[in-house]
Structure 1
Amino acid sequence: MATLTLNPSLPLPIFPLPLPSPLRRRSAASTAARTDGSAPVLPPVVVASTRRRLFIWMLLENHCFVDFNMETASQHFDPRTFSIKLWPPSGSTRLMLVERMTKNLSTESIFSRKYGLLSKEEASENAKRIEDACFAAANEHFNKEPDGDGSSAVQLYAKETSKLMLEVLKRGPRPKEDGEVTVVGESRPLGKTVFDISGGRRAFIDAEEARELLSPLTEKGDLYTKICFSNRSFGIDAATVAEPILTSLKKQLKEVDLSDIVAGRPEDEALEVMRIFSLALEGCVLRYLNLSDNALGEKGVRAFGALLKSQNSLEELYLMNDGISEEAAKALNELVPSTEKIKILHFHNNMTGDEGADAISQILKRSPALEDFRCSSTRVGSEGGIALSEALEACTHLKKLDLRDNIFGVDAGIALSKTIGKLVGLTEVYLSYLNLEDQGAIAIADALKQSAPSLDVLEIAGNEITAKAAPALAECVVSKQFLRKLNLSENELKDEGAVLIGKALEGHTQLKELDLNTNMIRRVGARCLVQAVSSKPDFVLLNINGNAISEEGIDELKEILKASNKSVGVLGPLDENDPEGEGEEEGEEEAEGEEGTAGDEGELESKLQELKV
């Protein structure tokens, strides 16, 4: 039993970490209860990963729990005895902490009212600097601590992070130099063409503040072509002040960013503000329009109707995190009359659903110049996925396709494969978490093999892909010699799939990142992956965390890298690797067939003969 007691008086502006994605991304089929009423069994590596992540998550969440009993926690996972180390945190965990700190440093608080609010850029710089410094200090402490489990290192990490964040908040934003983006109290443009007030404090603004902030727009002789009002919440009085100013700029504006301009406002007031801005800008000949983060819904879309209907030259349209429902999507299809010139169309993080996707597909059919389409996290199922896939055939200039985190399933995956085979200009494809399974993944891999010769990013993570689909994936990879990044994480490729992927990547000199974390890979597969990337001059990260590689296997991987003059840091974090998992699985195999690892390796080698490289 491991017991920790933490000091509740220490501030900790770091928020809870998400549980490992394998638990969040499991399909309905894999999470359903068994017929005998028992709970489904997770792979050993996922269980071990969850134990460790849950403990650190609870540790960082409140900084105040007492006597957390590891034996009690383990009862919820597995009755076996286990031991974990709390340090070091994984790379993804550190990145999450930086993101949380950035958000806290750039959000209005009692400190920002007194000392000023940091811009997102400055907050991000400080967050990275703080995390690096605190990690280094905690890591040095960990190397010296007698207990060796990392608990005191985590406490030091949290304490120092809190202290340094407080110092940054009290110091406030750095003095602005000539040419920088606007901060609170100042509205100087970038080269008299860009007017941006998003860098100031995020707060409601009234008529007086609006008059002061927007005063540079009234000066004669300006050449403003882009305005950004993001990160400020306009009321009706402030919008009324802005209306004549915007009207006076109609003939020169080309880019307008009105994202996040009504945060915290009552619906009626927010809709009226949208109507005021819409009428003021009606008739502008815009190439760029961003209406994201406004919780539009159908009412909001129609409130911007005058502006949308007057646009015939739009090249970029962003409607992310806007509550774009089925009705809102239909309103967009109705109100955006001309999309012939649109090159970028983003609908990320909405509640579009299948019928909404059908409305968006009508827009796609009228967008032959589209190069970048993002419809990720929009709750689109099989029917909507098929509609979008078929509509994308009209977008023959498409370069970047992002459909991540939807519920397409196999049928939509097959429909998408038919379209992908015709999109020869694709350079980036993001198809993670679509429930493609083997059949859908094979169809897409076969389609890509015949198209997209310049593909440099391919992500198909979290699709329940097994070793059955590995030969098709490997042959697809072989045909993509310009790949810079390949992500097949959170699948079930195992050693057989890993060996085939590793063999397929032998000639890819431009590869920089390869991610096969959480794939039930053991020593054999991991060795093949490391051998494949060790000679690549620009390679920076191989993520094989969350697998079941023995300690001896890890040592072997490091020796391979050293022999190739590669830093062992290329391996990335291995904190969620389960070194016991390999032995358990091998033991089961020996009990069944008495073949062991040698038999596995022989079978894997024979599979290589089927791969045409």
Structure 2
Amino acid sequence: KRPTIRDLKEVPLDIEDDRKKSVHQDDELDDFGDAGDGVRVPGTIPDDVRALSSSNPGGLVPRYTSALKELIESRGDCKILRLAFKQVGDDGASELGNLLKTGTCRSLEGLDLSCNSISQVGATHIARALTSNTKLMYLDISANDIRDEGIVEIAAALKLNNTLTYLDAHACGITDHGAKSIAEAIENNCAIAVVNLKANYIRDEGATCLARASQRSLSMRSLITASNDIGASGTKALEDAMYENDRLSDFVDFDLRMPNS
């Protein structure tokens, strides 16, 4: 018997507490930025976070200490740029947006901007870059305060982008309005395969729209909606979608995750 969402997904005793937990250790973080049951809080860097460092020229450098240009140059020939916890902010997101269109980041295949105090303003700059960038396949903008306004801009860009396959927007303050815009993008995009919307504020209406879009999609393989405010009708819609679309699950297969380099 195929497991249902109720069998597989994490159901915390206190959803609001689950959104606010934060246990960040760089050797335990998975590709969605979770460590165990912890969920990063938008725009917040916990006190227990260790400085991320590496002797590898293409790896992470200590947070707070390097200009964006230096962080970009440090990646060397790596196709994945990881900037989690680097205080990029909206100004940095604007600069990155320009670089994704015309500059040194134009050939990037993966970009991790999680936990960087980015608002809907910065998300809009990234979204504009997605309309013309034809290389980026992985985007992690999780744990930023982009809210519905930011995800709506990204969703609109995805309708014009046939390259991005992986979008992580967990813990971004997204409600049904933002979820519906992502659902429209899924229906109008032939490439997107993974969408992580864990730990947001999505309810039955948004979940139903996501379920309907994912059921019809020929490319979607993973839709993560755990730790939202989804009730019985939304849960049933998601279960039905996964029953009808046997390629779809509520977890991410290893081969779909963002590579390390």
Aligned to 2:64: 353
Deviation at 1:359, TM superposition (A): 10
Aligned to 1:406: 86
Deviations 1:312-340 (A, max 9, x none): xxxxxxxx844x7xxxxxxxxxxxxxxxx
Deviations 1:189-243 (A, max 9, x none): xxxxxxxxxxxxxxxxxxxxxxxxxxxxxxxxxxxxxxxxxxxxxxxxxxxxxxx
Pick one of 420, 436, 445 that aligns with 2:127: 445
Which consecutive unaligned segments of at least 5 residues does structure 1 have? 1-19, 21-43, 55-91, 98-319, 325-343, 373-398, 574-613
Measured in 2, the distance between the counterparts of 1:407 and 1:48 equals: 24
Pick one of 432, 436, 444 that aligns with 2:114: 432
Measured in 1, the distance between the counterparts of 2:190 and 2:126 equals: 24
| One-letter identity of the residue aligned with 1:401 | L
Aligned to 2:16: 46
Could you tell me the TM-score, scaled by structure 2's length? Answer: 0.69
Measured in 1, the distance between the counterparts of 2:73 and 2:19 equals: 41
* Matching of residue 496 in structure 1 with residue 177 in structure 2: yes
Pick one of 230, 240, 250 that aligns with 1:571: 250
| One-letter identity of the residue aligned with 1:353 | Y
Measured in 2, the distance between the counterparts of 1:445 and 1:534 equals: 25
SS at match of 2:164: coil
Deviation at 1:507, TM superposition (A): 3.5
Which structure dedicates a bigger proportion of its chain to helix? 1
CA distance change for structure 1 residues 476 and 321 in 2, over 3 Å: closer, same or farther?
same
Aligned to 1:371: 77
Greater RCO (CA < 8 Å, at least 6 residues apart)? 2
Deviation at 1:416, TM superposition (A): 2.3
Matches within 5 A, 1:154-553: 321-322=53-54, 345-348=57-60, 350-351=61-62, 353-354=64-65, 357-358=66-67, 361=70, 364=73, 370-372=76-78, 399-422=79-102, 423-450=105-132, 452-537=133-218, 539-553=220-234
CA distance change for structure 1 residues 413 and 552 in 2, over 3 Å: closer, same or farther?
same
CA contact (8 A) 1:454 1:480 kept: no
CA contact (8 A) 2:68 2:92 kept: no
CA distance change for structure 1 residues 558 and 444 in 2, over 3 Å: closer, same or farther?
same
CA contact (8 A) 2:83 2:112 kept: yes
Measured in 2, the distance between the counterparts of 1:362 and 1:412 equals: 11
Could you tell me the TM-score, scaled by structure 1's length? Answer: 0.31
Deviation at 1:459, TM superposition (A): 1.2
Which consecutive unaligned segments of at least 5 residues does structure 2 have? 1-9, 24-31, 38-51, 253-261
| One-letter identity of the residue aligned with 2:58 | H
Sequence identity percentage: 21
SS at match of 1:560: helix
Deviation at 1:494, TM superposition (A): 0.5
Deviation at 1:417, TM superposition (A): 2.1
The RMSD of aligned alpha carbons is 3.6
CA distance change for structure 1 residues 544 and 442 in 2, over 3 Å: closer, same or farther?
same
| One-letter identity of the residue aligned with 1:432 | S
SS at match of 1:509: coil
CA distance change for structure 1 residues 518 and 347 in 2, over 3 Å: closer, same or farther?
same
Which of the pair has more CA radius of gyration?
1
CA contact (8 A) 2:123 2:151 kept: no
SS at match of 1:429: strand
Equivalent residue pairs, number:
215
